[in-house]
Structure 1
């Protein structure tokens, strides 16, 4: 999928550039991006909270103080229903978050080409690339679980060794765990922009995401983690007023909390998608020199 080049400067993007660019592009497409998140993720959030308010009333609807004082054993009688609800909503939530992120990426590319910021066309493309995105993400998950199991087995072997094992565990294995988590987060974030921009099959999408990541692994991992932390903090800040309001509301607290959670996702999903797109395009144009047209156009005197 071509891009016009207005998203990127000629120099390599810094961490500050990605952060600023993600929020700047989000502001530029706020209305259609918000609609995409509302349409795709909003209904599931409300349905999940509604079901939870029935099977485990103490989980949602009580506001901030209820969350702080939550007793995890209070919902024991409805444990099976609670686990099933969380499992189904978690799987559907991840699936729909892929669709919403792909829709935002397609929207950003369309606006970058000078097209009008619409909702239907980006969402149509998002559903077209859903299968390769989902399969590539699943394969990454399998690889990540396999690596985690291998490290866990290695850790158990090291713990048998009295002193040296503990030293190696702290100095080698623990940093490998942290690096693996950061790498997994970064790779998962790259899958969506790769799928939307390249429109290839799942294996090609996964291979390309891995190749791009290996070009600048530490930089991409650092940016992905930083964006994740920033968006989580801002999303929680947006949810806080809704939690306080649901605490004093006589009824419908679950709906108020669902509205707050959706508001947080209206910020976090587009910003994360924009940051991942900027990182991918930045590495892509430096790696493959597909920005020659953009460079020539920029350098020509006007």
Structure 2
């Protein structure tokens, strides 16, 4: 991989004048950390160690190794207290890499730019690589499961005004539609009487079902529109949070609004794919029924076909689950975003499924902890609200008190869980691109991160 601005090769660090170690200068010479290297002594072997050059140095990295094998079982020497090669150190003239020592053509040493100290333990020698840069809510390296979940929660905590404002607006609009549907359609006396009347005519039942379908369709449209806009805004907010940059709801909308129509088209296309898969699964049973096949054979074909369709649908859902962030953050078209998601998920299907399933379980647990107490309180003070909600044999319907209290609990639960689900999806997309396309380099440049912490990958989680 070629070096790029804000990113240096592992084991190296920028020179004081901004050039990479080992890069040719204007006069054709290479960088040397510290004062200029002394010229080779006449008659001396170019690889012969100086009087102060230790034979127990670590293996060669980007410098020439001294001659002579190291003694077995002996630990490497500690880093010198001075600035590195070239300066006189305590204990003798020249010290490490002074006038009488230092590997010819070497680059750096302990505690100097480009030496082993650049890899980890600037003060400890062999402590491992330094941590990756973390300008925002995640470190710029491949992420573990816990880091993805923590990043989603950290985004909500750091930018709580923007995140909770967006999710609260969406939750209120959605639950308001449900509340109106329950209060004015399901609580309608004519609707209740018709549904509870076993002698109702077909026309009456169809009229009531039509009203319910219209109300449910309106609620569904409101929910879908609000969820799509929230997804677009939260994707933008999370992408800014990764870079450590604040963003308001207005700024997020200005960044996302051009892609919102495409996001509608993407979700519509994915919905058509889902319907097509289910119809294809049910097709053998439908054909058997039309052809007059046996009842048992028709039912078996129908059930097996639907089970196979569910398996295929789950596989496609996970495979295309990163389409939304690909569309929003890469400014891609609808079909291109679907193919990008399939490419990023390829080879990591089970990992993507596990992380998204874990996030959904956590979100549902959080929502339940909020909704259940409100539901119990509503049932206690709502005057038969619980009975009316679950009863199918009486004319009782939930009271307005019950509906309002349960709606408040649902709003709070949605306000907390929506950012978690959206944030996990975006961070999972970023993690897959870091693993496959080295997106961390681009993110480091975008965040303005410079220095060794931006150029070293740090410990990579195994998950």
1:274 corresponds to 2:404:
no
Q: For residues 115 and 13 of structure 1, do their structure 2 counterparts lie closer, same or farther at Cα, with a shift above 3 Å needed?
A: closer
Match of 1:204 among 305, 318, 336: 336
Give yes or no for contact 2:136–2:244 (8 Å, CA) kept in 1: no
Match of 1:50 among 156, 167, 180: 180
How far residue 283 of structure 1 moved from its aligned partner, in angstroms, is 0.8
Structure 2: 5+ residue runs without aligned partners?
Answer: 1-133, 198-204, 384-399, 457-463
Question: Normalising by the residue count of structure 1, what TM-score does the alignment of the two structures yield?
Answer: 0.78
Structure with more contact order per residue of length (Cα contacts < 8 Å, sep ≥ 6): 1
Q: Which residue of 2 aligns with 1:291?
A: 440
Q: Which residue of 2 aligns with 1:214?
A: 346
Give yes or no for contact 2:233–2:252 (8 Å, CA) kept in 1: yes
2-side partners of 1:213 and 1:73: how far apart?
47
Q: For residues 140 and 43 of structure 1, do their structure 2 counterparts lie closer, same or farther at Cα, with a shift above 3 Å needed?
A: closer
Q: Where does 1:34-183 land on structure 2 (aligned, <5 Å)?
A: 34-57=164-187, 73-74=195-196, 78-154=208-284, 174=307, 176-183=308-315
Give yes or no for contact 1:7–1:278 (8 Å, CA) kept in 2: no
2-side partners of 1:173 and 1:86: how far apart?
25
2-side partners of 1:94 and 1:184: how far apart?
20
2-side partners of 1:230 and 1:104: how far apart?
19
How far residue 121 of structure 1 moved from its aligned partner, in angstroms, is 1.1
What are the Cα deviations for residues 244-294 of structure 1, in whole angstroms up to 9, with x where unaligned? 232214754322222221111112210001100111011112222222354
1:227 corresponds to 2:349:
no
Give yes or no for contact 1:182–1:222 (8 Å, CA) kept in 2: no
What are the Cα deviations for residues 121-156 of structure 1, in whole angstroms up to 9, with x where unaligned? 113333332111111111122122222222223567
2-side partners of 1:149 and 1:123: how far apart?
37
**Bigger share in helix:** 1
Q: Which residue of 2 aligns with 1:242?
A: 374
Q: For residues 41 and 208 of structure 1, do their structure 2 counterparts lie closer, same or farther at Cα, with a shift above 3 Å needed?
A: same
State the number of aligned residues. Answer: 283
Question: Normalising by the residue count of structure 2, what TM-score does the alignment of the two structures yield?
Answer: 0.53
Match of 1:195 among 317, 327, 346: 327
Greater alpha carbon shift after TM alignment, 150-159 vs 123-132 = 150-159
Query: Which structure is larger by alpha-carbon Rg, 1 or 2?
Result: 2
What are the Cα deviations for residues 167-208 of structure 1, in whole angstroms up to 9, with x where unaligned? 9x87x984x445334334435642321222112222222222
What are the Cα deviations for residues 45-72 of structure 1, in whole angstroms up to 9, with x where unaligned? 21330232111129xxxxxxxxxxx9x9
